[in-house]
């Protein structure tokens, strides 16, 4: 019995094993066959893709050559017609007619010339004839065989060469002579056989190229319908330069191209070629041959490419798909063979994976709810836009501050929808300077003030806006902005500025009187010390009593200490006067009424620069500064405030330099929107500490240390002046060291404005000390 059960067990085991093997084979064999079929289908699809791509590339290359050669023939045909319209063609008229060709950028074109026929007997007369028409040094050099010659009498270089091309006998090259004959006979633009141009024979052999000439006959139009023959216009074209310039972009470094010119006898001669350059070790397994029309002949293009270089045309995907399918089939066969034992384990894994997914989903929901709660409870407005300016997110505080719902449009609608104005509400905020627009352009801006005034906020609120681009690692382009209502803070600041202006004004008079009394006492002490042997030499003539006191050493010591303390008092008075002046300027820059007028910014900048140079010349302890001023446009602004703005910026540039170095300042115009002027003041000084490029415009903020004096109001005054004129001012690091400030002002009516100039522009300029290149410093015109 037991042996029977054992045998039955063995039979069942063998049957189970056979069934498992059979099931595995039923899964593995079809899977492997299907994988091989999929790999074959994918490879055939890749081959079709490669064929299609090379066909498109061949079409693109052919069209590029045809289009470019068509430009040459059309230009030659139009030039021939233009020259034929002149009853008495001269050199100036030829130069005027051919001037447009230089701007056409005809790749490989060497020169354009007018050629006229002449026999041996006619050469002196033809030479004298064209000398009278504007070529006084023309010398006709007969080189061709036979009595008929064709000379170039008028010529213009198209490749930048200064080599003369007049007086050359074109019949000395058989190829050009045949082309001229065909053109005269057919009356059409004709292309020659390939050869090395006459004007290139002076070049080293390695620089010579196979070239060709295009020529067209010139007929003069006269009454009665007659068209007397004048000559030919001829253009030389270097083959390799023509091909490289025409096809460099079309081949994209993945295709080899050869251009074969068809000669008069029908033979195809290689003119030039362009190598793709990418992976020369890869076989060129895709070939195309196309025909392209050049003048009256059909030339040929041979195009070779490697399917491995074409995007999507060759990849390991078919082999990977077949291998992956085979491996998957074998894996499935193995899984089927152990299906009974692995079913429970697979189910447990599914349950565990499902639980993990549910936990991850719940965590994501909690995170989203937390983020929503944070944004909803924040008192600052938060807005997020995509790369096109469409709003993705905004919190309740944003709608509360702005008063209106976000607009569905892009940046071009923000100005009108929200009502965005300059902080004082005098003019709309420039659209290109909006913080969110700046952030979409990849720049980070901090605490930009502006006013929001719309139907929900008719009285207007002042907000401070910061914006920056979204982190690209999140997979979403765009920008985020955070803003807060600072209306109350601005009102307090305005009251404080007005108070500072009143206090500063009231302090000027007693401070002036105090300076006078201190200086008077110090002068008296100087006179008192003058009779003493160690006293001041300029104080002779003091009274007898004073002289007696001065001779007392104890009295002399007391006098010296008093003088030192009075000098300290005068220094403190000077600093206080500077602070009062800055406070008055700060208050004036914000509260004084604007009186705009046309300001010659160029003359004003040079005058201010000259003043600072003259002041620096009195300090022999440091090298003299240099100030380079480019041409500047006139602006429409308040003249005193513009002077204050420029004086502060130039003064800072001259002042904040490293010990032992002279200031180097460059002032130039930059491109600006229509109706605006943008100015840059760049220096090579101590620069701006990291993270303080926006903070330096705050009142009483001082970024520089190391013994540099100042009240910290200069740049705050600059910002207020620029903002009151509807402009913006920014600070950034100057590449190579130093800082550069850029600000915008309204352009004067009828001024240049708009795109503006650059430091590279030329123009006349005065010089405060020396001239351009003066080693002792000065104002230099760029």
Instruction: Render pLDDT for 638-683 as a digit per residue (tens, 0 to 9).
Output: 998 999 899 999 988 988 888 888 899 999 999 999 999 999 999 9
Give pLDDT, residue 579: 56
Contact 426, 746 (CB under 8 A): no
Contact 296, 192 (CB under 8 A): no
Contact 439, 386 (CB under 8 A): no
Closest CA to 576 of 716, 711, 717, 706: 711
pTM listed for this prediction: 0.41
Contact 663, 657 (CB under 8 A): yes
Give pLDDT, residue 128: 94
Closest CA to 211 of 182, 189, 234: 234
Contact 252, 273 (CB under 8 A): no
Task: Give the DSSP letter string of 497-531.
Answer: HHHHHHHHHHHHHHHHHHHHHHHHHHHHHHHHHTT
CA geometry: angle 143, 144, 150, nearest 5 deg: 95
SS3 382: strand
Instruction: Render pLDDT for 538-548 as a digit per residue (tens, 0 to 9).
Output: 444 444 444 55
Identify the H or E element spanning 271: strand 268-274
According to DSSP, residue 122 is labeled T
Instruction: Give the Cα separation of 28 and 22 in Å (integer).
Output: 10
CA geometry: angle 558, 559, 563, nearest 5 deg: 120
Instruction: Give the Cα separation of 509 and 782 in Å (integer).
Output: 44
Give pLDDT, residue 538: 41
Give pLDDT, residue 497: 59
Contact 522, 570 (CB under 8 A): yes
Give pLDDT, residue 525: 78
Q: Kindly give the pairing relationship between strand 478-485 and strand 461-469.
A: antiparallel
What radius of gyration, in Å, describes the C-alpha atoms of the chain? Answer: 43
10-residue block means of pLDDT along the chain (782 residues)?
A: 63 76 83 86 80 86 90 92 88 90 87 93 93 92 83 90 82 90 92 89 85 93 76 92 82 82 92 74 82 91 80 70 83 76 50 69 79 80 86 85 82 86 84 85 80 88 89 80 83 62 65 76 76 44 46 75 76 63 58 82 94 82 88 93 92 87 92 93 91 78 54 82 90 92 92 50 35 49 50
Contact 435, 383 (CB under 8 A): no
Instruction: Give the Cα separation of 336 and 673 in Å (integer).
Output: 72
Give pLDDT, residue 700: 60
Give pLDDT, residue 292: 92
- Count the helices and strands in the chain (H runs, E runs): 16, 23
Alpha-carbon torsion 26, 28, 30, 33, what sign?
negative
Cα end-to-end span (Å), the chain: 115
Contact 38, 301 (CB under 8 A): no
Q: Kindly give the pairing relationship between strand 286-294 and strand 297-305.
A: antiparallel
Give pLDDT, residue 771: 37
Give pLDDT, residue 358: 78
Closest CA to 404 of 479, 481, 465, 457: 457
Instruction: Give the Cα separation of 676 and 295 in Å (integer).
Output: 51
Instruction: Give the Cα separation of 138 and 131 in Å (integer).
Output: 6
Instruction: Give the Cα separation of 47 and 35 in Å (integer).
Output: 18
Instruction: Give the Cα separation of 421 and 431 in Å (integer).
Output: 10
Neighbour count for residue 261 (Cβ, 10 Å): 21
Give pLDDT, residue 344: 44
Total residue count of the chain as it appears in this document:
782
Contact 418, 442 (CB under 8 A): no
């Amino acid at each position: 019995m037991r042996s029977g059960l054992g045998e039955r067990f063995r039979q069942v085991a063998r049957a189970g094993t056979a069934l498992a093997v059979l099931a595995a084979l039923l899964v593995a064999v079809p899977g492997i066959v299907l994988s091989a079929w999929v790999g074959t289908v994918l490879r055939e699809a890749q081959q079709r893709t490669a064929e299609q791509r090379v066909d498109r590339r061949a079409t693109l290359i052919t069209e590029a050559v045809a289009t470019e050669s068509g430009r040459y023939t059309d230009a030659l045909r139009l030039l021939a017609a233009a020259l034929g319209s002149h009853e008495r063609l001269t050199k100036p008229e030829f130069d005027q007619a051919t001037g447009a060709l230089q701007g056409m950028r005809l790749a490989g074109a060497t020169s354009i010339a007018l050629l006229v026929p002449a026999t041996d007997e006619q050469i002196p007369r033809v030479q004298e004839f064209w000398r009278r028409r504007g070529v006084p040094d023309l010398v006709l050099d007969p080189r061709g065989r036979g009595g008929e010659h064709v000379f170039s009498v008028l010529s213009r270089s198209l490749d930048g060469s200064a080599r003369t091309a007049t007086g050359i006998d074109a019949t000395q090259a058989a190829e050009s002579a045949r082309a001229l004959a065909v053109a005269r006979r057919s009356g059409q633009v004709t292309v020659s056989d390939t050869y090395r141009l006459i004007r290139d024979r002076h070049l080293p052999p390695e620089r010579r190229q196979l070239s060709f000439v295009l020529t067209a006959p010139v007929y003069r139009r006269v009454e009665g319908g007659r068209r007397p023959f004048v000559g030919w216009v001829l253009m030389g074209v270097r083959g390799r330069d023509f091909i490289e310039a025409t096809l460099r972009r079309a081949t994209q470094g993945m295709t080899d191209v050869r251009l074969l010119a068809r000669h008069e006898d029908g033979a195809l001669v290689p003119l030039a070629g362009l190598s793709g350059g990418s992976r020369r070790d890869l076989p060129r397994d895709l070939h195309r041959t196309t025909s392209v029309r050049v003048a009256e002949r059909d030339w040929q293009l041979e195009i070779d490419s490697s399917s491995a270089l074409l995007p999507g045309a060759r990849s390991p995907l078919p082999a990977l798909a077949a291998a992956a399918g085979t491996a998957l089939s074998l894996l499935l066969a193995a899984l089927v063979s152990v299906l009974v034992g692995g079913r429970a384990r697979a189910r447990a894994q599914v349950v565990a994976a499902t639980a993990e997914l549910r936990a991850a989903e719940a965590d994501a929901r909690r995170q989203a709810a937390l983020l929503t709660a944070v944004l909803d409870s924040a008192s600052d407005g938060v807005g997020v836009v995509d790369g096109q300016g469409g709003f993705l997110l905004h919190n309740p505080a944003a709608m509360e501050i702005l008063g209106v719902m976000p607009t569905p449009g892009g940046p071009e609608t923000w100005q009108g929808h929200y009502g965005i104005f300059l902080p004082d509400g005098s003019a709309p905020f420039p659209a290109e300077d909006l913080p969110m627009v700046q952030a979409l352009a990849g720049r980070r801006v901090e605490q930009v003030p502006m006013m929001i005034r719309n139907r929900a906020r008719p009285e207007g609120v002042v907000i401070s806006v910061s914006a920056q681009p979204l982190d690209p690692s999140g997979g979403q382009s765009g920008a985020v902005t955070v803003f807060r209502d600072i209306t109350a803070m601005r009102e307090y600041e305005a009251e404080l500025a007005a108070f500072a202006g009143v206090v500063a004004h009231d302090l000027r008079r007693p401070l002036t009187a105090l300076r006078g009394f201190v200086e008077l006492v110090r002068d008296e002490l100087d006179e008192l010390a003058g009779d003493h042997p160690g006293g001041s030499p300029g104080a002779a003539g003091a009274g007898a009593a004073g002289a007696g006191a001065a001779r007392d050493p104890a009295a002399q010591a007391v006098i010296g200490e008093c003088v030192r303390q009075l000098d300290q008092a005068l220094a403190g008075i000077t600093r206080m006067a500077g602070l009062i002046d800055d406070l008055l300027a700060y208050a004036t820059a914000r509260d004084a009424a604007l009186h705009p007028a046309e300001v010659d910014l160029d003359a004003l900048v040079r005058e201010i620069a000259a003043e600072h140079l003259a002041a620096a010349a009195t300090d022999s302890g440091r090298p003299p500064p240099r100030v380079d001023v480019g041409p500047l446009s006139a602006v429409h602004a308040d003249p005193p405030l513009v002077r204050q703005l420029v004086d502060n910026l130039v003064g800072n540039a001259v002042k904040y330099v490293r010990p032992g170095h002279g200031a180097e300042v460059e002032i130039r115009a930059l491109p600006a929107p229509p109706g605006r002027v943008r100015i840059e003041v760049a220096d090579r000084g101590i620069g701006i500490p990291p993270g303080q490029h926006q903070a330096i415009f705050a009142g009483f903020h001082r970024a520089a240390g190391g013994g540099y004096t100042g009240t910290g109001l200069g740049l705050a005054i600059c910002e207020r002046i620029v903002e009151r004129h509807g402009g913006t001012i920014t600070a950034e690091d100057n590449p190579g060291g130093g800082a550069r400030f850029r600000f915008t002002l309204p352009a004067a009516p009828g001024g240049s404005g708009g795109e503006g100039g650059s430091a590279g522009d030329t123009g006349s300029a005065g010089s405060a000390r020396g001239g351009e290149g003066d080693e002792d410093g000065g104002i230099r015109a760029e």
